Amino acid sequence: MLKQNLDAGMEKKLYQRVLNSFTNATGIFSAITDLEGNCILSSEQGDGEFCRLLKAGPGGPARCNKCYAQGGEQALKWKEPYIFKCYAGLISWVCPFFIGGKHIGNFICGQVRMWGPTELDAKWIKKLAEENGQDPDLLLQSLNSVKLVSAMNIQAAADLALIVTGYIALSGTEIFDFHLKLRKAGFWIWAENKKQKDLDSEFTADAAERDMSDLGSRIFAETRKANIEQAKKLLEQLVLQIFIQSKGQLEVIKGRSLEFLSLLTRMSTECGVKFGEVIYLSDLKLKEIDDADTVEKAILWLLSVGNAFIDLIAEKNTDGEKGIIGKVTEYIKKNYSSPGLSVKVIAAACHMNPAYLGQLFKKKMGCSLTEYIHDIRIEQAKRLLKETDQITESIAKQTGFKDRSYFCKIFKRKTGLNPGDYKKNNILSL
């Protein structure tokens, strides 16, 4: 899992920066390992000469990995940096590495000395050299190049490692998400700008104003009709128009962004969103655009704030039976017998994003869309079991289940009985 995260590109780049910065600041090697102690990523400066020689020998990496893994277990147990002596006698320390609250690896630092070479060290190094089939004098000489660090500095570096891993655990994934979104927004806006220039050589300011005004109205019209996907596509067109009209000038984009926020605030209030909610969201977003120091950040702000207001309006837009939830439940009741009924199918029929629809439905109804579909189907199945003499397989097909066994499984989970027993109980009660 950790290696997959680091191989994702942006994450690897940022982790590499953390490791390099730590090593540059302290002069101490650092790396990230998995739970088995395998090194996934290390500071670009790499191991010192002594460690490189040991790892070049037979079984060298395996011994190091074992030390790292054991150190990680102790650090996790005590919830603090664990300082230990490796099998070669060097000092290292380790902090648990968390992503999303799960321990998936360790932050390793060290391979330093706290004292100069002694006679005991010389004997131990010679023994290691013999086991590895290496030159003992060369190995002993390389020991002198290992950084000498005081106990106070080791503790300070360990504390710094704890702060780094704690920060990544709390906000690292958010940082990665932001940078990924920023990169996508930047790529998108410049690519779309080039397309627009190729298509529209005669682009006027008056035309831009008319287009933006029209797009703003259309965005809210589609949102009120619960056509969320269409509203968000129109939002992208509006952001592109703002960028083109500004000619890529950051301060101009910021000025138009404030006008855009004012429009969003007014339209949200008209759509039934409480004034307090609108103002709270507006205040949060104002600080973000003020802090934006690149065109890409301003564009990302426009997209994110527009999407936030569209979602807010869509959630509040409950126009009786024509509201989003009403449309969805009505569609399910009419189509529950279709075996292909799914969240994706329902979202397409309602012109909505499947993920957004699933979240909104669960928030409003207290259950997932899939569970609601099952509830409707099982209610119909119960009616057929009580009122007809049809066999279980026939009822399963009529209520949208693809096979008899899955129908029986869901039926028992919902009622506590299998279909046959449910039918017998109801016949006896009659």
399 with 392: CB under 8 angstroms?
Answer: no
Distance between CA atoms of residues 116 and 114, nearest Å: 7
Joined tokens for residue 130: 């013999």
Sign of CA dihedral 218, 224, 227, 228: positive
Joined tokens for residue 417: 């009985």
Joined tokens for residue 388: 């007809």
Closest alpha carbon to 239 in 288, 283, 277, 295: 295
In this predicted model, which residue has the larger pLDDT, 247 or 94? 94
Query: Do you know the residue count of the chain?
Result: 430
Q: Is residue 270 helix, strand or coil? A: helix
- pLDDT tens for each residue of 383-400: 999 888 899 999 999 999
Closest alpha carbon to 223 in 352, 363, 357: 352
The position carrying tokens 């950040």 is 297
The position carrying tokens 């309602």 is 350
Q: Which domains are present in the chain?
A: 2-177 (3.30.450), 200-316 (no CATH), 322-429 (1.10.10.60)
How does the average pLDDT of the chain come out, rounded? 79
Region for 111 from its dihedrals, namely left if φ exceeds 0, alpha if ψ lies in -120 to 50, beta otherwise? left
Distance between CA atoms of residues 217 and 197, nearest Å: 25
DSSP state of 248: T
Find the angle CA(280)-CA(281)-CA(285) to the nearest 5 degrees: 120
For helices 228-246 and 173-199, angle between their N-to-C axes, nearest 10 degrees: 70
In this predicted model, which residue has the larger pLDDT, 315 or 347? 347
Taking the model in full, what pTM does it have? 0.43
pLDDT, residue 5, reads 54
- pLDDT tens for each residue of 95-138: 887 776 778 889 999 889 887 767 667 788 888 888 778 888 88
Q: How far apart are the first and last CA of the chain?
A: 57
Mean pLDDT of 234-249: 81
Mean pLDDT of 72-88: 86
Kindly report which listed range (101-115, 176-190, 290-304, 362-376) carries the lowest average pLDDT score: 176-190
Whole-Å CA distances, 49 to 55, 86, 307, 414: 10, 16, 54, 66
Mean pLDDT of 352-378: 85
Joined tokens for residue 147: 């950084």
Closest alpha carbon to 353 in 291, 299, 307, 422: 307
Distance between CA atoms of residues 300 and 173, nearest Å: 18
